[in-house]
Structure 1
Amino acid sequence: MTASPASPAASPLTARAQEAASEIVTDILTLVRHETSSYDLPGLTAGLDLLREVACHRLGRPDHEQRHPGGAFGDTLTLTYPGTDTGAGHVALVGHYDTVWPTGTLAGWEPPEASDDGRVRLSGPGIFDMKTGLAQGIWALRLVRESGVRVPAVTFVFNGDEEIGSLSSRPVIEEVAQKADATLVLEPTAHGAVKTGRKGSGIFRVTATGVEAHAGLAPQDGASAITALSEFVVAAAAVASPARGTTVNTGLIKGGSGTNVVAGQATATIDIRVSSEAEQDRVDAEFDAIKVSDPRVRIDIEHAWNRPPMTLNTASAPLLDLAREVAREQGRDGLPDAAVGGASDANFVAALGFPVLCGMGAVGDGAHAQGEFIYPDTVPAQTALVAGLLGRLAEPLGG
């Protein structure tokens, strides 16, 4: 069930967030209207400049900032704002600005149909995953600073390669999280629930190398890499075990050089999600055991486990308790948590044993799907929740 917004009178922070709601939504839509596909480097560069501009407009210039090069993909930007005093702690707010949507998607975007309960929806590529969370995080710090309570130092980590594995941003995220007392990841909620469990993920690249030949004159001399790869991906799909939390999806296939040539090479990129290290080991072994029918085709598998499974570790449990306490103080009817199939940058932090909560961002639905949307009436409550948690994290966690 989708979370309902908190009462405007529930707390001063919530009331202030309600007053600022139109400005927060304006910032959300500003970010959405600039497309930032993971594979569009110029778009990512301009999108990060825009995100920095929004942060500086709402918060002023940071004490420290650093842009970490992303190579062929989006850079990672860290912005650190000081706390009210040197002993006020340090919190990391992490969010990605890249999206799965190819540049040009916005022009043909069709808004979703109205919800059954008549609630207003806002839609756009990346609005749910996760540009709403970025804007809410910026405003959360602004609101808690305005409230006059003690505030920790906050480091924003904005990365532009999360959707493709956070290959360049991972060490930056881990370094910041190691220095912080707690990390809040501004990914979307699970229908209002924070995310305390996530599957681990792997991105395997499978290459089939066959023998080229003329498809008409001497097909018998060829060994098709495409045919062999097709056999492999069908066998790989059978490795999936939903009952054990393991899914296998072949998302990309490339191969061949012409329709009249028996393909000499073909590649597949396979997305794998697991809920345990034992399943990682099983998948590795079963992939290596797959055989294709033509012995002339060589199969090479690049086992690339990207994110470890995430569970609610002992360091994060007090952080969840604190978030629930803040939610109650703000008049919310509980704050559920959930385990989900997707992976995020929170997986890296949890694997290191540091306190982290994920899913602190948008309430809506449709991640990675045409028509993804948010409920704008939940924006104030979500912003106030993060703001309130920041205020409480000025003191030692569990203290």
Structure 2
Amino acid sequence: MISELARSADAAAADILTDITDLVACETHSYDLPGLGHGLELLSTLVARRLGAPTEVERHPGGEQGDTVVITYEGHGSGHVAIVGHYDTVWPRGTLTNWPIASHRGEDGRQRLSGPGIFDMKTGLAQGIWALKLLRESGAAVPTVTFVLNGDEEIGSPSSRPVIERVAASVDATLVLEASVDGAVKTGRKGGGIFTVTATGVEAHAGLNPEAGASAIHALAEFITDAAATAAPAEGTTVNVGRISGGSGTNVVAGQASASIDIRVLTQAEQDRVDAAFDEIQVSDPRIRIDVQHGWNRPPMTLNAASESLLKTARAVSEELGRPLADVTVGGASDANFVAGLGLPVLCGLGAVGGGAHARHEFIYPDTVAHQTALVAGILHRLADAA
């Protein structure tokens, strides 16, 4: 059956690529609500065209971000699998004007297909739809599949997180079709958050009476130095001060300053340590007030026992397709972190093979599309009957 799915995917490769380019051609920046609406309409139409009328559809408003749609297709077996993917991208409307979808050969000599959002993660969306289509057409056992399509992943999934967690808790396994790492799946992801640190001081004239002032900027610089020292690269913990602002003029002792700090951790223990360390930082001028907003967004994703079994299934399918399947831990977070944080089975990185996420050279290898589609189809087949 797995080899039959591979042959079907090879035959459908051109059509899958057409769907990928159609999705990429519709720009869906995370903060462009009209664009997100058009993108979700296109995606929903594509799902219906390839898979027919769904068993059930739910639409959850996203407010200022894209809506989340939950689309279920009832299967023949007792298994139930969620396929999660986001349709928003980091690329603003108009990016296609100067960066059109194009095919070219890379330095490695392989053909590439480039375009905004093609790697992260519109290729994964199309491959997931086609994986279910090919499995259903094969006549083999098919699980019930619920697609969760969200338009706010690139900004932390603020509205879609509860939907993802609810669906993941009701199924046997969750497959997140984010891009792979050279074909490897992602079984570990760092947790992360953005801390906002605000220093409030006392304004004064920098020339006439500087001693009457208490500089928020100077204090913030002290805080940042100590905050950066909480990083522990050997433990996978990084601390990056990405933005700072403050003051009202060069001749004014600054009354306020703030910093946004990106923090990534591999374990809950490191998250707890960083929390405590930030709260213990003191500045030398007692007139300064420091406020720290702990903005953890996603918990660390680790390979739990339930996910180990799912990984074993995926590896068995990949072996039948003629390729070993590696797994890796990466620094970036995804919606898979939410599922793993609940202790539920999840695999991430089953989508595109390529590179350049969030970079202007973002691309996929078109010759990998059939294999990745067959891999997901095979995994679905193996999960058709709940254990």
TM-score by length of 1: 0.89
1:75 alignment counterpart: 67
Rounded to whole Å, the distance in 2 between the matches of 1:299 and 1:103 is 38
What's the secondary structure of 2:193's corresponding residue?
A: strand
Quote the offset at 1:259 in angstroms.
6.4
**1:19 equivalenced with 2:11 (yes/no):** yes
State the one-letter code of the partner of 1:209.
T
1:362 aligned onto 2:352: yes
Q: Out of 194, 211, 231, which is 2:202 matched to?
A: 211
The 2-side partners of 1:394 and 1:359 are apart by 21
Deviation at 1:222, TM superposition (A): 4.5
Question: 2:114–2:361: 8 Å Cα contact kept in structure 1?
Answer: yes
List per-residue Cα deviations over 1:45-69 (Å, max 9, x = no partner). Answer: 2222222122122112212111112
- Residue range with higher mean Cα deviation, 10-19 or 272-281: 10-19
Change (3 A) 1:396 1:206: same
Are the equivalent residues in 2 in contact too, given 1:307–1:347 (CA < 8 A)? yes
Contact persistence 2:104–2:113 (CA under 8 A): no
The residue that corresponds to 2:49 in the other structure is 57
Bigger mean CA offset, 306-315 vs 228-237: 228-237
What secondary structure does 2:116 align onto? coil
Q: 2:25 aligns with which of 33, 37, 44?
A: 33
Matched, 1:248 2:239: yes
Q: Which residue number in structure 2 is paired with residue 6 of structure 1?
A: none
Structure 1 pair 263–316 and aligned structure 2 pair: CA distance change class (3 A): same
Contact 2:104–2:111 (CA under 8 A) maintained in structure 1? no
Unaligned runs of 5+ in 2: none
Relative to structure 1, the CA distance from residue 116 to residue 238 in structure 2 (aligned partners, 3 Å threshold; closer, same or farther) is same
2-structure distance, mates of 1:59, 1:222:
67
Contact 2:202 2:216 in 1 (8 A): yes
Alignment check: 8 A CA contact 1:129 1:367 kept? yes
The whole-number CA distance in structure 2 between the counterparts of 1:26 and 1:100 is 22
Kept after mapping to 2: 8 A contact 1:145/1:151: yes
Cα offsets for 1:28-47 (capped at 9, x unmatched): 12222222222222222222
Taking structure 1 as reference, are residues 371 and 228 closer, same or farther at Cα in structure 2, changes over 3 Å only?
Answer: farther
Distance across 1 between alignment mates of 2:209 and 2:25: 53
Query: In the aligned structure 1, how far is the partner of 2:374 from the partner of 2:52?
Result: 20
Structure 1 pair 314–261 and aligned structure 2 pair: CA distance change class (3 A):
same
| Structure 1: unaligned runs, 5 residues or longer | 1-8
User: 1:214, CA displacement in angstroms?
Assistant: 5.8
Query: Please, which of 136, 140, 146 is the counterpart of residue 137 of structure 2?
Result: 146
1:189-204 equivalent positions in 2, closer than 5 A = 189-204=180-195
Contact 2:275–2:294, Cα closer than 8 Å, also in 1 = yes
Are 2:331 and 1:312 aligned?
A: no
One-letter amino acid matched to 2:374: A
Could you tell me which residue of structure 2 aligns to residue 4 of structure 1?
A: none
1:127–1:223 Cα change, 3 Å = farther
1:154-173 matches, within 5 Å, as 154-173=145-164
Q: CA deviation at 1:113?
A: 7.7
Q: Is the 8 A contact 1:112 1:371 kept in 2?
A: no
Residue 276 of structure 2 aligns to which amino acid in structure 1?
A
Q: Is the 8 A contact 2:200 2:256 kept in 1?
A: yes
Contact conserved, 2:103 with 2:111, CA < 8 A, in 1?
no
CA distance in 2, matches of 1:112, 1:265: 50
Q: Return the alpha-carbon distance in structure 2 between the equivalents of residues 257 and 76 of structure 1.
A: 42
In structure 2, what residue type is equivalent to 1:31? L
The answer for the alignment partner of 1:274 in structure 2 is 265
Deviation, structure 1 residue 230: 3.7
**Counterpart pick for 1:284 among 266, 275, 278:** 275
Aligned-partner SS, 1:343 = coil
- Between the aligned residues of both structures, percent identity stands at 69
Distance in 2, matches of 1:294 and 1:108, equals 50
Quick check: 102-111 or 21-30, which moved more?
A: 102-111
Which among 26, 43, 59 is matched to residue 35 of structure 2? 43
Cα gap change, 1:228/1:125 in structure 2, threshold over 3 Å: closer, same or farther? farther
Distance 1:383 1:105 in 2: 28
Q: 1:146 to 1:284 in 2, by over 3 A?
A: same
For 1:388, the equivalent position in structure 2 comes to 378
Cα RMSD between the aligned structures? 2.3
**Deviation per residue, 1:249-292 (Å, 9 max, x gap):** 22333445566765443332222111112211221122122233
Superposed counterparts of 1:321-336, under 5 Å: 321-330=312-321, 332-336=322-326
Aligned residues: 386
Say whether residues 1:371 and 2:353 are aligned partners.
no
Distance 1:386 1:228, change over 3 A: same
Q: Pick closer, same or farther for the CA change 1:18–1:299 going to 2, 3 Å.
A: same
What's the CA shift string for 1:101-125, capped at 9, x where partnerless? 3333333338798433310111222
TM-score normalised according to structure 2 size: 0.92
| Matched position secondary structure for 1:279 | helix
Contact 2:81 2:173 in 1 (8 A): yes
